[in-house]
Amino acid sequence: MAENRLTAETRTEFGKGFARRARKAGKIPAVLYGHGTDPRHLALNAREFTRVIKQGANTVLTLDVDGEEALALPKSVVRHPVKDYYEHIDLLLVRRGEKVTVDIPVVVVGEPEPGVLVITEANSLSVEVDALNIPDHFEVDITGAEVGTQFLAGQVKVPNGVELLTDPEALVVGIQHAPTADELEAEDAEVMEELGIEQDAPDSEDAEGEASGSDKSEDEKSDES
């Protein structure tokens, strides 16, 4: 994965007051730690970080910290649950040639056999890989897959130099039978019966109206005869 240069500066202020001022100034509070060094409290350029993080959560950053260069991997990115801004970022210091443990997204591609249901059990796989060669994603090709087909973690193709840490027998994607409308209706009826819920009966007034209409029809037939 390519490095992305990002401007950072050392900060000495903390707390909610500083965080609000930082956001107004277009910055994000962050902490850089790792390799036994003391944590460094930083402020990142919000626009630059937003641009590079779109490439993936495992993007390696080349930080320019007060004239010094450092490589870092985002380990925790906290985003406001409602408003569209980053609240805080934890960065792990890495070195060239160092291996790191990361979770790589799984992307399902291809079309299975008609009438099946694709169940994704794992959205990512944990691996150990060179910090500067982290894959963007892993692909699981389900082209032509039939009911009962299973794709396990150990069957996912990973590049050379990538060590899978997830259990190889863990299910990633499963292909199941897609129930028909009649099957779903029968299942719902069975559940209602188990719960002791009676199915809706015809409205009494409607039933009486139908009966009355039926009697009238018989009378009319009698008159005609």
Local confidence band at 171 (pLDDT 50, 70, 90 cut-offs): very high
pTM: 0.69
Alpha-helical regions (H) of the chain:
15-24, 46-53, 181-194, 204-224
Least confident of 63-72, 89-98, 111-120, 193-202: 193-202
* Mean pLDDT value across residues 105-113: 94
More reliable by pLDDT, 216 or 99: 99
Q: Which domains, and CATH codes, for the chain?
A: 4-95 (2.40.240.10), 101-177 (2.170.120.20), 181-224 (no CATH)
* Mean pLDDT value across residues 116-134: 93
* pLDDT of residue 179 exceeding 80: no
Local confidence band at 125 (pLDDT 50, 70, 90 cut-offs): very high
* Mean pLDDT value across residues 133-157: 94
Tokens of residue 214, six digits: 């039926």
Which own/partner pairs from 37-41 qualify as long-range (CB within 8 Å, at least 24 positions apart)?
Answer: 37/93, 40/10, 40/65, 41/10, 41/11, 41/12, 41/14
Local confidence band at 189 (pLDDT 50, 70, 90 cut-offs): confident
Per-residue model confidence (pLDDT) at position 225: 46
* Mean pLDDT value across residues 146-153: 95
Q: Report whether 64 contacts 42 (CB < 8 A).
A: no
Q: What is the mean pLDDT of the chain?
A: 83
Local confidence band at 145 (pLDDT 50, 70, 90 cut-offs): very high
